[in-house]
Amino acid sequence: MNHLFLNPESTYKRLLTEYTKYGSLVVAFDFDNTVYDYHQQGLDYSEIVDLLQKLREINCFLIVWTANEDEAFVKNYCETHQIPFNSINQNPPFFTSNSRKIYYNELLDDRAGLRESFDRLLKLYNHIKTHS
């Protein structure tokens, strides 16, 4: 494995280093099929919601990253289902850019390695709680 960040331990260490340096991380999470059952299949997203609540505990900035154009629906759904977030499709106030791409340290997305991101963030949370 030649690329540094194809190594799971390297990606975890990078997150830990960034969290240690700043006391926070920016975590973006997809809405549809990551925390919301878009196809109404009766899927359970409680593990993801629980992780987001834990990340809030350790001062992470949480961004809902969605193609859903009904921001009021997204906001209401998250609030009703106790899904913590700081913004919807917007960069944190401490990061300014004219790019359409939002800044994040980690992305939770059903189409972009959800399991790996989930495991990495849970490992980070457990480390922080154990060593604080």
Average pLDDT, the chain: 95
The count of other CB atoms within 10 Å of the CB of residue 26 is 22
In a domain, 13, yes or no: no
Task: Please indicate whether residue 18 or residue 100 has the higher confidence score (pLDDT).
Answer: 18
Closest C-alpha among 101, 91, 114, 93 to residue 29: 114
Angle at 45 between CA 85 and CA 102, to 5 degrees: 35
Using CA atoms, how far residue 16 sits from 43, 75, 92, 131, in Å, is 31, 29, 19, 12
Q: Which residue has 């331990």 as its token pair?
A: 9
pTM of this prediction?
A: 0.94
CATH number at residue 52: 3.40.50.1000
Structural domain that includes position 91? 20-130
Residue 45 is assigned to a structural domain of this protein: yes
Nearest-CA neighbor of 63 among 30, 36, 37?
A: 30
pLDDT of residue 5: 84
Decide if 6 is inside a domain: no
What is the domain count for the chain? Answer: 1
pLDDT tens digits along 20-73: 999 999 999 999 999 999 999 999 999 999 999 999 999 999 999 999 999 999
* Sequence-separated (6 or more) residues with CB below 8 Å from residue 94: none
Q: What is the distance of C-alpha 117 from the center of its chain?
A: 8
Residue 1 predicted with pLDDT over 70: no
